[in-house]
Amino acid sequence: MKFAFCVEDETDEAVFALILEKLLGVPVEPDRTTYQFARGGWSTALLLAPSVAKRAATAYLDGAVFAIDNDGSSEHESAHSNDERCRFCLLRQAANVQVPLAWTRAGAPPLRYLFAVPVQTVETWLLLVKEYPFPGLPEGIGIGHVGRRKLKRLLYGDEDPGRALMREIAIPLVTRMDPQDLAQKSKSFKQFLNQI
């Protein structure tokens, strides 16, 4: 399957593609057009999201993944309806997928739009898979750029892992990931899993 990714960097794109492959059970190929925004580029993410949603439709992809770090915002709850303090709600609202979903795409697969706001980052999810002994709450690290760098260092041993290092560390973790087990440990992962 082919998806567009609205993510912060190529590491996140690659990790989310791996996670999606695991959850869908089929190979996932990122769209050749990349939509990445600078770390902490929350307002850019909101601006990009509707274009990514439309791109998935017009390029006849299978869908799009929208992902951004939580960065200390309110955690999404299923009872939310467009909570202004919640990144998940705001990102979903900005993507406005109702517009492309209403378009006719003869012969194309049904579009899937998936939203992920890992608390606090996708590295938290992978560290939980690794059973890293977090001192205190796993969600306690990763707020602000210093915290995000720390999570990368804990997972990859490097604050700015290249693609090769990222794959070397992330692939075995995603392979051994038990989605139901991780959903028990991370509410934000559960919210992503529930959309699959």
Residues in contact with Zn ion by the rule CB under 5 A:
76, 80, 83, 86, 88-89
Other beta carbons less than 10 A from residue 51's beta carbon: 15
Q: How far apart are alpha carbons 191 and 79 in whole angstroms?
A: 12
Give me 84's structure tokens.
């202004």
Q: CB nearer to Zn ion: give 80 or 185.
A: 80
Q: CB nearer to Zn ion: give 82 or 104.
A: 82
Q: CB nearer to Zn ion: give 15 or 86.
A: 86
Closest distance to Zn ion from the beta carbon of 80 (Å): 3
Count CA atoms closer than 13 A to 179's CA, side-chain side.
Answer: 15
Q: CB nearer to Zn ion: give 78 or 98.
A: 78
- Residue 35 pairs in a beta bridge with 6
Closest distance to Zn ion from the beta carbon of 113 (Å): 16
The DSSP string of 113-140 is EEEE--SS-HHHHHHHHTT---SS-GGG
Closest distance to Zn ion from the beta carbon of 141 (Å): 22
Closest distance to Zn ion from the beta carbon of 121 (Å): 18
Q: How far apart are alpha carbons 67 and 98 in whole angstroms?
A: 18
